[in-house]
């Protein structure tokens, strides 16, 4: 079986609809076809300041949400990044292989550090894509299910895998991004040209999965659209409606042409009301399952312990072969 690897940050507490449609849905699908490794990336979380107690509880909450979304510990390996020390170890190796300018070209760093200010942005935030390279290469992943915003980081991973392989001999599988065209970028409901994001300036366009469903339903009903009334998928002219159609279609499995027909002559209001209802129907059992996993910490801990053990076995083997190729003297 080909391998898949991806990670998600525990920082915001609740995952948002962009995380789910862009990434987590693909995690669930790929566990059927791939030997899949998914992790809660707590090492990445500390690139910005975190409250220790909150980080700990958000890490559990992230794992619970992944299980609630459909990850099955019998069909995939779910673990916490800091439980596998090889991530930080191979991360260092990858740091030493990356050009300073090359790292500086990562657009996510440029955006985030511009927001934080040069003095507050940490070196960890700068090198975070390089740790991500190590995350992926440790598992010899073929496919990396992510949203569109992560494409550049997977490209960096491909470059560094190739560089290491040509310098030291074939060691790493060169991975490919697995980005679903339709849902690779879900947009903010108030600003449908911007990515839905946990760090948006206003929470109005952000659908958090763990919020009260009626709060999210209201946000959906108040989504920004346009002054026209025709329900038609047209990302350029009608980004708001197109985003809602994408969300609607993915959550219900109904094709976009069918939705366009269904709402012909009915206007935007009917579409928003129905989508809000579909979302509530989908999210209610998701929230319940999340609470069930959180309410049973023993089971959750056992899943994560087993996951870490499986992940460590693979990661240790890859790290050992990389260290050997580099010329590190083996410990006796
Ligand atoms: N709007 C989105 N549409 C599609 N996919 C998205 N992802 C994030 N936002 C969207 C994907 O979710 C996965 C987990 O991402 P993360 O843990 O790195 O979270 P993030 O990218 O930090 O999430 P945000 O909300 O976008 O945070 P900020 O604003 O801090 O950057 C990834 O695969 C990501 O592509």
- Residues 145-174 have pLDDT tens digits of 999 999 999 999 999 999 999 999 999 999
Q: Strand ranges (DSSP E) for 135-268?
A: 143-145, 176-178
Q: How far is the CA of 15 from the centre of ligand 1 (A)?
A: 9
Atom 34 of ligand 1: nearest residue by CA position: 147
Output the pLDDT for position 276: 98
Report, as an integer, the average pLDDT of 195-224. Answer: 96
* Alpha-carbon torsion, ordered 167, 173, 176, 177, to 10 deg: -100
Report, as an integer, the average pLDDT of 281-306. Answer: 97
Q: How far is the CA of 19 from the centre of ligand 1 (A)?
A: 5
With a 6 Å cutoff on the Cβ, whether 45 touches ligand 1 is no
Q: How far is the CA of 16 from the centre of ligand 1 (A)?
A: 8
Atom 14 of ligand 1: nearest residue by CA position: 8
Q: How confident is the model at residue 7 (pLDDT cuts 50, 70, 90)?
A: very high
Is 0.95 surpassed by the pTM of this model?
Answer: yes
With a 6 Å cutoff on the Cβ, whether 287 touches ligand 1 is no
Output the pLDDT for position 115: 86
CA-to-CA separations, 146 to 24, 62, 118, in angstroms, rounded: 8, 16, 27
CA-to-CA separations, 193 to 197, 224, 256, 290, 297, in angstroms, rounded: 12, 11, 20, 31, 40
């Amino acid at each position: 079986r080909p391998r898949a690897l991806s990670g998600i940050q525990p920082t915001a507490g609740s995952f948002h609809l962009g995380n789910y449609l862009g990434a987590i849905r693909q995690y669930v699908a790929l566990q059927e076809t791939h030997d899949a490794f998914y992790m809660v990336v707590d090492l990445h979380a500390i690139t910005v300041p975190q409250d220790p107690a909150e980080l700990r509880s958000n890490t559990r909450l992230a794992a619970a949400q992944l299980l609630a979304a459909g990850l099955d510990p019998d069909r995939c390996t779910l673990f916490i990044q800091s439980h596998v020390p090889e991530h930080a170890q191979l991360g260092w190796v990858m740091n030493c292989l990356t050009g300073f300018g090359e790292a500086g070209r990562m657009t996510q760093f440029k955006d985030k550090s511009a927001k934080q200010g040069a003095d507050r942005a940490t070196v960890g935030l700068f090198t975070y894509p390089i740790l991500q390279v190590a995350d992926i290469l440790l598992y010899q992943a073929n496919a990396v299910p992510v949203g569109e915003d992560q494409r550049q980081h997977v490209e960096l991973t491909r470059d560094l895998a190739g560089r290491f392989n040509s310098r030291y001999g074939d060691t790493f599988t060169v991975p490919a991004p697995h980005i679903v065209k339709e849902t690779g970028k879900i947009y903010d409901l108030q600003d449908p040209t911007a990515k839905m994001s946990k760090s948006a300036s206003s929470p109005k366009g952000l659908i958090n999965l763990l919020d009260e469903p009626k709060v999210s339903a209201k946000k959906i009903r108040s989504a920004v659209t346009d002054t026209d009334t025709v329900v038609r998928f047209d990302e350029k002219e009608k980004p708001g409606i197109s985003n809602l159609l994408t969300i609607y279609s993915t959550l219900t499995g109904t094709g976009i042409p069918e939705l366009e027909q269904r709402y012909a002559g009915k206007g935007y209001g009917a579409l928003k009301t129905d989508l809000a209802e579909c979302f509530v129907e989908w999210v209610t059992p998701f929230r319940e399952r999340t609470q069930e996993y959180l309410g049973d910490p023993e089971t959750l801990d056992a899943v994560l312990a087993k996951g870490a053990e499986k992940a460590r076995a693979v990661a240790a083997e890859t790290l050992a072969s990389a260290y050997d190729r580099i010329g590190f003297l083996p410990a006796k």
